[in-house]
Amino acid sequence: MTAKATSSLTGTATAAPSTSIPPGITAVLNVCRRIYPTQPNPLQASPSVKFWLGGPDPLDYISMYLNAGAEHLAIPEHWHYVTFGLSDLYGDGRIHPLEEQHPDEMDVDGPISGFGFELTFRLKRAAGELTPPLWPADFLQDLARYIFSSSNVFVPGDHVSWHRALDGGENSQSKIQHVLMTTDPQMARVVSPSGRVEFVQAVGVCKEELEAAQHWNGRGVLELLRSCKTACGPMWITDIRRDRSIFELDSHLALSVQDGINRDGSDLSGVSCSCRWTEIRRHKHSRSGRSLSLSDTNQIRAALQNGLADNDPSHIKFLDSVHLSFNQEAGSLLGLALCGRLLHGRHFTFRNVTTDHAITFVAEEVRGTAVSRERPLAVAGNWLQVYLQEKDIMEMAADVRVLTMPEKFLPYRLFSWPNLRLNVTVCKDETLFAI
């Protein structure tokens, strides 16, 4: 998804609330005006053709405010971007369907408006900068397109593997190439006639900080970013020019991450990647198999919590041994899957990026699976499951630790555990897709 500078910067913002302004817009504007009472007419980025008229950009508006910060709190001046369009702005079905929310489908806090949230973004103001840069508006439109196309929503603690500079420049040297999601520290939840609206702030981070969030959890890393005044500070302000991670700025923070992993495990339950499996048949050289993945992370979580959708023994095939193949970035997460997930009694899934299949490693404590100690390898439908005991997890984790050392990575590596009837190959390949 490539950012397109299709939005137009205008100085004509929505006027004071009146009966002519749609109620969803009024609700979001009221939150903004409580924070910025002296900026009733902020600059706005708005697509030339609205989404509901056939345009490509889902967001109707992105307002841009100047936040003065607070020097005594280590909060620098910054631009504050607020989206309009992920929540139901109009309440007439032109974008978000008018569907009655039954009590058993509602959130505990009542109905939600549209997707239930708007995005925000805070960008550190450069010296002498008189107007807000437009690239964050394009970046937020990209995020919105993903949300509309996938129906996946963001919640605080989520991460997005962006794999390119957020400012979108082909020649950009910025290290800020990924995103964590948090609650906007100033914008409180609002209830519009269509339902509740939260404000989820996108925070630009570098590769090392993303990896820490993957190996531990996003909430923990966000607190470390907040505590580091020279990184994001207490309001999680993105500095697109920041060239050092928080672990380079404060070496003690790496220990905090490791302590967190040891204590909490990892919240990451799966990744989209290049992966496949091949059944190894005893006494035969021929192999047959197929690519694996899963299209929706929520399907994995729901299936493992509620039991397999198809747990009929007649539909389950037990395998004698398998050979798994992963790309390099997926391979680098094998240690996370083993130590951060399985050792804490959880599961981890590698989803193929092109087909509707998956490979799931499960610990002994996970219930509702097709595998067991007696039959550790099984295929249920299009889902390969690999059962591992604690001693096996420890053995594998020790062996794959080398995959986290890029300087020691070869074009491919082969790992073999005959006692588990399991082989794994890790090859240099394309990077993981954002999920």
Q: What is the pLDDT of residues 332-388, one digit of tens each?
A: 889 999 999 999 999 999 988 777 678 999 999 998 888 999 999 999 877 899 999
In-domain check, residue 434:
no
282 and 395, same domain (yes or no): yes
Distance in angstroms (rounded) separating the CA atoms of residues 332 and 240 = 27
Cα 15–chain centre separation:
35
Report the sign of the C-alpha dihedral through residues 388, 391, 395, 397, in that order: positive
The per-residue pLDDT for 15 is 36
Question: What's the rounded Cα separation, in Å, for the pair 205 and 226?
Answer: 12
Judge whether 51 and 85 are in contact, CB under 8 Å. Answer: yes
Residue 432, in any domain of the structure: no
Q: Averaging pLDDT over each range in 1-10, 90-99, 389-398, which range is the top one? A: 389-398
Asked if 326 and 334 count as a contact pair (C-beta separation under 8 A), the reply is: yes
**Domain for residue 333, yes or no?**
yes
Same structural domain, 300 and 152: no
Domain membership flag for residue 2: no
Comparing 74 with 274, which gets the higher pLDDT? 74
In a domain, 385, yes or no: yes
Distance CA 234, CA 183 (A): 12
255 and 286: one domain?
A: no
What pLDDT score does 214 carry?
Answer: 87
Torsion angles phi and psi, residue 227, rounded to 5:
-80, -15
Give DSSP secondary structure letters for 7-76: EEEES----S--TTS-HHHHHHHHHHHHH-TT-SS-EEEEESS-GGGT-S---SEEEEEEE--BGGGTB-
The confidence band for 19, taking pLDDT boundaries of 50, 70 and 90, is low
Residue 237 to residue 330: CA distance in whole angstroms: 30
More confident residue, 428 or 59: 59
Structural domains in the chain (count): 2
Q: Does 140 lie in the same domain as 98?
A: yes
Indicate whether 260 and 274 sit together in one domain. no
Q: Are residues 242 and 331 both part of a single domain?
A: no
pLDDT tens track for 92-120 = 999 998 865 544 445 567 799 999 999 99
Tell me, what CATH number does 409's domain have?
Answer: 3.30.1360.230
In a domain, 337, yes or no: yes
Q: Which among 219, 243, 264 is the end of a domain?
A: 264
Whether residue 250 is found in the same domain as residue 363: no
- Asked whether residue 146 falls in the same domain as residue 206, the answer is yes
- Residues 212, 329, single domain; the answer is no
| pLDDT score at 107 | 58
Q: For position 249, what pLDDT does the model report?
A: 95
pLDDT band at 282 (very low <50, low <70, confident <90, very high): low
Q: Which two tokens stand for residue 232?
A: 């994001």
The residue with tokens 């702030």 is 201
Indicate whether 8 pLDDT > 70: no
For residue 108, being part of any structural domain is answered with yes
Q: Is the pLDDT of residue 172 over 50?
A: yes
Quick check: is 215 in a domain?
A: yes
Asked if residue 299 and residue 217 are part of one domain, the reply reads no
pLDDT at 1 over 60: no
- Mean pLDDT (the chain, rounded): 85
Q: Which amino acid is at 132?
A: P
pLDDT for the residue 284 = 42
Choose the final residue of a domain: 244, 264, 284.
Answer: 264
| 221 close to 209: Cβ distance less than 8 angstroms | yes
pLDDT at 58 over 50: yes
- Say whether both 97 and 186 belong to one domain: yes
* Terminal-to-terminal C-alpha distance of the chain: 13
**Alpha-carbon gap, residue 94 to 85, rounded angstroms:** 11
Q: Ranked by mean pLDDT, which of 167-171, 191-195, 201-205 comes out on top?
A: 201-205
For 269, the 3-state DSSP assignment is coil
> In this model, does residue 290 exceed pLDDT 90?
no
Residue 340's domain comprises 270-427
**Same structural domain for residues 360 and 298?**
yes
Structural domain ending residue among the three candidates 248, 264, 280: 264
